[in-house]
Amino acid sequence: MATNAAPEPAGSSHRPPGLSAQALVVQPGPPRKLSEDLTVLLREFEVETVTLREVMAVMHGRGYLLLVILLALPFATPIPLPGLSTPFGSIIALLGTRLALGKKPWLPAKLLDVRLAPRLFAKVFAAARAILRGFEYFLRPRLPAFTATAIAQQLHAVSILFAALLLLLPLPLPFSNTLPAFSILFLAAGLVERDGVFLLAGHIALVLALAYIILAGIAGVEGVEAIWHWLRG
């Protein structure tokens, strides 16, 4: 079973199981910032585990691009995340593919109901919140030509897809996840806020990530050949 429907807005009579009522209270005035939503989630993790569906509910159905940002943030922190690059990268790649095709974002219900480990993600979200606060200070609508058309937005989503595929690679290299993660963060944040400067930074980060992996691969091959020749000689 899968769902195309966006999570119900806060204040609805339905509440995701396990999520406290306080997390879904609608505050008067402008929508909360994503860093403020992370603060709410951190309080929830003090009580019990949280699912991706509940995370979307806390974000008040503001869009799957915010979920992309949330899933990429852990890889921009110094906290090791063994085994998470594949599932998180797969979700980002799936959302990026649909956005690149100009289709409505979609996730299987099975993924939305996955429960996140409270001890690990409490630390991850705390570190991610600091990064996101820095982003929120600089984000603003700029260079409108980069987001003026649907085709331009789809091209940015293609880069998100490629960066997510790099996250999926099981590379035992330092920063092999960090550079693609920042590419995703810049691109998704740029699309959310229509910030062309962040979009440019996202594409540059993707090029740097590709160059780093290619150069590391070449160095690795040459190193193996050198060791082989030394053993034979």
The pLDDT of residue 9: 41
The pLDDT of residue 185: 92
In a domain, 159, yes or no: yes
pLDDT in tens, 34-69: 777 777 777 776 666 777 777 777 766 556 787 788
In a domain, 9, yes or no: no
In a domain, 14, yes or no: no
Report field, pTM of the whole predicted structure over 0.75: no
Count structural domains, the chain.
1
The pLDDT of residue 159: 94
- 116 - beta bridge partners? 50
Pairing of strands 50-51, 2-3: unpaired
Task: Report how far residue 204's alpha carbon sits from residue 198's, in angstroms, rounded to the nearest whole number.
Answer: 10
In a domain, 15, yes or no: no
The pLDDT of residue 168: 83
Instruction: Categorise residue 149: left if φ over 0, alpha if ψ from -120 to 50, beta otherwise.
Output: beta
Nearest alpha carbon to residue 72 among 115, 124, 140: 124
117 close to 49: Cβ distance less than 8 angstroms: yes
The pLDDT of residue 26: 39
For residue 179, give its domain range.
Answer: 23-232
- Residues in the chain, pLDDT under 50: 1-16, 19-29
Task: Report how far residue 26's alpha carbon sits from residue 19's, in angstroms, rounded to the nearest whole number.
Answer: 14
The DSSP code for 108 is E
In a domain, 169, yes or no: yes
In a domain, 12, yes or no: no
In a domain, 218, yes or no: yes
Q: Which residues of 152-162 are buried (b: 16+ CB within 10 A; e: fewer)?
A: bbeebbebbbb
- 20 - beta bridge partners? none
In a domain, 44, yes or no: yes
The pLDDT of residue 198: 94
The DSSP code for 195 is B
